[in-house]
Chains A and B, each alone.
Chain A
Amino acid sequence: MKILLVEDATALLRAIELKLKKIGYEVYPCADGRQALEELESVTPDLVITDIMLPFVSGLEVLNAAKAKNKRTPVIVFSAMGQENAVEEAFLLGADDYVVKPFGLKELEMRIKRLLGTLNADIQS
């Protein structure tokens, strides 16, 4: 499973990347929106996780690009506290889920698994 991960706070990016790798995903980390758009040209991810506020290109555009490539790619957006409005916009653009910062990594893991349809497998095991 390939996951495109876009987050400009590099320490957090690293942490999530490690966490996801540990679970067994193939992770493509990007620190800004432009890099993410470039990455999207060569990689077809199974899931996209992106922050909304990114340098150069906004997370909403990353979301747009991912959905343009494959409408069914699930997308999770991060938002800071109180950004319900940005979240609303993200949903209008087709986002599948969102996580509010600060969040727990376990929570993120669960949401990823649910979207990838592997949550049930987890529960059964």
Chain B
Amino acid sequence: MNWGFLILEIFAFGIFLYSIVLFAFYVFIGVFSIGETRKYIHQNRVTDYRRIASSLHAPSVSIIAPAYNEGLTIVDNVRSLLSIYYYNLEVIIVNDGSKDNSLQKLIDAYQLEKIDFFIPDQIPTKEVRGVYKSRNPVLRKVVVVDKVNGGKADALNVGVNIASNDYIICIDVDCVLEQDAILKMVKPFMEATTQRVIASGGVIRIANSSLVEHGSLVKVKLPKDYLPRMQTLEYIRAFLLGRMAWSRLNGLLLISGAFGAFDKEIVIKCGGYNRNTVGEDMELVVRMRRYMEERKEPYKVTYIPDPLCWTEAPASYKVLGRQRNRWIRGTYETLKFHKVMFFNPRYRLLGMVSYPYWFFFELLAPVIEFLGFIAFLVMVFAGLVDWELFFALFAVVIGFNYLYSVFAVYMEVKTYNQYRRRTDIAKLLLTSLSEPFNFHPFVVWSSIRGLVDILRNQHSWGDMAREGFDKKKS
């Protein structure tokens, strides 16, 4: 018996315990999400959305879509936003100092003119160069804002300042929304009677290879390429199981920047989006929740499982790697800003479960997984553990991964069934087989590089503006 062995012992025990808790969480999430999804679907079947769509009395909504160098597609994107059913709607496009001709294209396509506009600056932002509206009365919903480049969070804040309506829906401008998307997102706010709903998240689905015409999704198809297809599965798992379970617990911490609805009053009271993080979408939700917790006001963050928002996923390893690198940095920064909540009973579920979960199983997971795997390999080669045990453990981990994926596919088929063809489902399942050997290690590696970047650039990191925008978070 020596110290080295004792340390090894403790280490192995730690990893073991970690894995058990992680598995337990996944099982809980999977099982817990079922009831919530079923309830939602039944409720949807007996709800007549059309009646509310054109109601004058429905809550007023402002869509905020920041755009940076999107000149190629911006006109179509705006067109798509205009085809949404909702009467009390305003569509704000914020041109974040694009270097291309985005603004001119919009001006030409929608007969825009610069107008006098007083912006009540409830949130400080970079300078606004001009506000544009259309001369065509049919396009009275459109507001285009031109501003000095300041990053995504800053662009969103300008949108919040300008928004004249009670609720805001922040989206990525290149997303394709279903026609009833706004209606379904607004419903939870209108359903609330005892707890105020401060934010509502939506599902992001992957549109690669799907057919988009006239700015609307015509036919859903399974992505042809490996990476987008893998992410399709990943998103189904995250949105249909993870988010659903967390929202049932009322412990949801992340609403995708690509599609989320917020109560504008609370957003302004919290000071809007944080410009000092790459994870501004998650940070805002955490700050809003913290704000409500500290004021002891009853509140809820809800979540809609309908596939309402479709977007292109990164199709190359390079872009995907950059995206995951950014996600982990965003997570780190958010958790750092709000570290006071870590296991703090004052924040109830938020402090005792949600935050620690994100800390241990989202932020630290890549590190622990990576170190654990390396350590295990070392032990095998050092003869401390035999190969058979190594493979047996590996089989359990992979088996669990497959089980979780298959379960997610089952829930998808049972509920929204977007990919109707049997061959598509087969392809999706087959793709999942390679995940532990290819996709997953790459994602872990990208995350670790993100964490390394944090350590390296601790100080030189204030200026996020020129990074361009994040892609959506799953």
Contact = CB atoms under 8 A, between A and B. Distances in A.
Interface of A: 34, 37, 53, 55-58, 60-61, 79-86, 89, 92-93
A121 B362 CA distance: 75
Contacts of A55: 179
Given A85-B87, A92-B137, A92-B138, A56 B54 contact: no
Contacts, number: 45
A54 to B, nearest CB: 9
Given A34-B213, A34-B218, A37-B214, A58 B54 contact: no
Contacts of A93: 138
Contacts of B55: 82, 85
Contacts of A83: 53-54
Given A57-B214, A58-B83, A58-B85, A85 B54 contact: yes
Contacts of A57: 83, 214, 216
26 contacts: A34-B214, A37-B214, A53-B50, A53-B85, A55-B179, A56-B179, A56-B216, A56-B218, A57-B216, A58-B83, A58-B85, A58-B179, A61-B83, A79-B54, A80-B50, A80-B54, A82-B54, A82-B55, A84-B54, A85-B54, A85-B55, A85-B87, A89-B138, A92-B137, A92-B138, A93-B138
Contacts of B296: none
A81 B214 contact: no
A80 B54 CA distance: 9
Size bin of chain B's contact surface: 10 to 19
Interface string B155-187: 000000000000000000000000100000000
A92 B141 CA distance: 13
A61 B53 CA distance: 17
Interface in B8-67: 50-51, 53-56
Interface string B205-227: 00000000110111000000000
Contacts of A85: 54-56, 87
Contacts of A61: 83, 214
A90 to B, nearest CB: 10
A89 B137 CA distance: 9
Nearest to A89: B138
Nearest to A60: B83
A86 B56 CA distance: 10
Contacts of A37: 214
Contacts of B179: 53, 55-56, 58
Nearest to B49: A53
Contacts of A89: 138
Nearest to A94: B138
A80 B51 contact: yes
Contacts of B213: 34
B84 to A, nearest CB: 9
Contacts of B214: 34, 37, 57, 61
A42 to B, nearest CB: 17
